Structure 1
Amino acid sequence: MFKIQEIREIIKLVDASSIDEFVYEADGSKVKLKKNGGAVEIVAPKAAAPAPAPVVEQTAAPAPAAPAQAKEEAAPAAPVVADADLHKITSPMVGTFYQAPSPDAPAYVKVGDKVGDESIVCIVEAMKLFNEIEAEIKGEIVEILVKDGQLVEYGQPLFLVKPE
């Protein structure tokens, strides 16, 4: 079963995003949010025993600065025109994008950096958990598509990588 604080955080994230509908299922529980309809639906598990809390991997990264304090990374000189041969690193969740593990630390990657399969490229913070995002491909960072401190949605492209 979901804790009320978890549901409140999900509502805040969905409200701040441009998505109209959000559905999350875990261990027999289901949360469904619709902005336009104004509906919030929570379905309890059918089993008599309470469902265990969802397991979320948490990193030990320090909390990044608030978006207002975040440093702006310089945009690439020219936008990438032909991205058909480029790989998109996408966000695996709704949350806040951070380029560095802390406000005073350098960004994990910048345009022109080489990355490997397990290279950490950013952090996406969701419900106060800081999730390290890996490149999952060998190549070169060609473009950073979001700004530090920006809210990102599930499946939203974050980086363009030229595969090796």
Structure 2
Amino acid sequence: MLKVQEIRELIKLIDQSSIDEFEYENDGSKIVLKKNEVQYAQAPVEQPTQQPVAKEVQEPAKPAVTTPEQPKEEATNKQVDESLHKIESPMVGTFYARPNPDSDVYVKTGEKVSESSVVCIIEAMKLFNEIEAEVNGEVVEMLVEDGQLVEYGQPLFLVKA
């Protein structure tokens, strides 16, 4: 379950982004953040509560963009082999598989990684954050495309430890 500070950080990131809605579900807990409203339910049987999101001066809303990666995201929601380690996005941002457009990707399917291996970059608010594997093993699958927007906690890679 997310801590209060993590939820506050999420609210701040959502408020500063062009994202209108964010949904996170883990172990029966679910949090849904929408611009101008927050819903949180501890368990499926409880009624969600609503709280206004702190609002600052915002740019005009950008039109929603439909990406071709949506079917792939749905595929990641299906049951995955529990023995595989998921490398998840620690933040909302843009996923980059390579350090710059002229370079090779950090890792490919079938490559071995160590805990300190950089596997990708997540760009958030013009800051480029290197994401490490945090596990020793072999990359089994890359779950997102280069340049794709990713959510907090979204699986990026599956690694066989």
What is the aligned partner in structure 1 of residue 16 from structure 2?
10
After TM superposition, give the deviation of residue 82 of structure 1 in Å: 5.5
Deviations, residues 95-128 of structure 1 (Å, cap 9, x unaligned): 0100001111100001001000100000000011
Deviations, residues 76-95 of structure 1 (Å, cap 9, x unaligned): xxx9x861110000000000
Count matched residues.
112
CA contact (8 A) 2:115 2:134 kept: yes
Rg bigger for which structure?
1
Letter in 2 for 1:144: M
Q: 1:33 to 1:11 in 2, by over 3 A?
A: farther
Greater RCO structure (CA 8 Å; 6+ sep): 1
Question: For the aligned residues, what is the CA RMSD?
Answer: 3.3
Deviations, residues 43-80 of structure 1 (Å, cap 9, x unaligned): 9xxxxxxxxxxxxxxxxxxxxxxxxxxxxxxx9xxx9x
Q: Whole-Å Cα distance in 1 between the matches of residues 22 and 156 of structure 2? A: 16
2:151 alignment partner, one of 150, 153, 157: 153
5+ unaligned residues in a row in structure 1: which ranges? 1-5, 23-31, 44-74
What is the aligned partner in structure 2 of residue 57 from structure 1?
none
Report 1:21-100 matches (<5 A): 21=33, 34=37, 39-42=52-55, 83-100=81-98
5+ unaligned residues in a row in structure 2: which ranges? 1-11, 24-31, 40-49, 57-71
After TM superposition, give the deviation of residue 11 of structure 1 in Å: 2.9
Q: Whole-Å Cα distance in 2 between the matches of residues 104 and 9 of structure 1? A: 33
